[in-house]
Amino acid sequence: MSRARQPPLVTGISPNEGIAWTKVTIRGENLGTGPADLIGLTICGHNCLLTAEWMSASKIVCRVGQAKNDKGDIIVTTKSGGKGTSTVSFKLLKPEKIGILDQSAVWVDEMNYYDMRTDRNKGIPPLSLRPANPLGIEIDKSRFPQKDLEALFPGMSADFTSENFSAAWYLIENHSTTRFAAITIHK
């Protein structure tokens, strides 16, 4: 005779408050026997099952979505134990709206930006991590006079990090003598 499993019981969540898409760690008892056993997860009334990552019978990691309620329970449902209960709650914070010129104390990690809409990592590395030679071709400074380049491209720059970057100036200045045979094409 098989013994029925106890229903899931959520006893902790960290952090216990945050804005939508905050990554949280859920702790508790009987949170499933494996990833396939986890069939439901709601936080503040929002279904978070798509972002859930079952770690163990006492730990699940997920992201809080756009919830209907400002504060609510964390409910785990499993095949083996049914619908569970929660002794803790999560508070959904409303993000502060700021304009493009307002100062913000929020750090944006450009190296690891994740877009939930497209399910892809995005972002560009900060300037300090960008290569000095973006084309990866040996730089061969031309004998082209700087004054002639400035006259040919007024108000422009060969600095690829500049707002006034000119690709033509960059190529003339750094690769005017490069031969196609020297370029390796990566497929």
Q: What is the DSSP string of the chain?
A: -PPPPPPPEEEEEESSEESTT-EEEEEEE---SSGGGEEEEEETTEE-GGG-EEEETTEEEEE----SSSEEEEEEEETTTEE-EES-EEEEPPPPP--TTS---PPP-GGGEEETTTTEEE----GGGS-SSTT-SPP------HHHHHHHSTT-BS-TTSTTB-HHHHHHHHHTT--GGGPPPP-
Say what the pLDDT of residue 145 is: 83
Of residues 131, 133, 130, 127, the one with CA closest to residue 175: 133
Joined tokens for residue 90? 């999560």
Of residues 167, 81, 176, the one with CA closest to residue 138: 176
Residue 1 CA, chain-centre distance (Å), reads 48
Say what the pLDDT of residue 20 is: 87
Give the C-alpha separation, 121 to 124, whole Å: 10
Residue-wise over 98-113: b if at least 16 C-beta within 10 A, else e?
eeeeeeeeeeeeeeee
Say what the pLDDT of residue 1 is: 44
Say what the pLDDT of residue 97 is: 72
Residues in the chain, pLDDT under 70: 1-4, 98-100, 102-136, 142, 161, 180-187
Say what the pLDDT of residue 175 is: 78
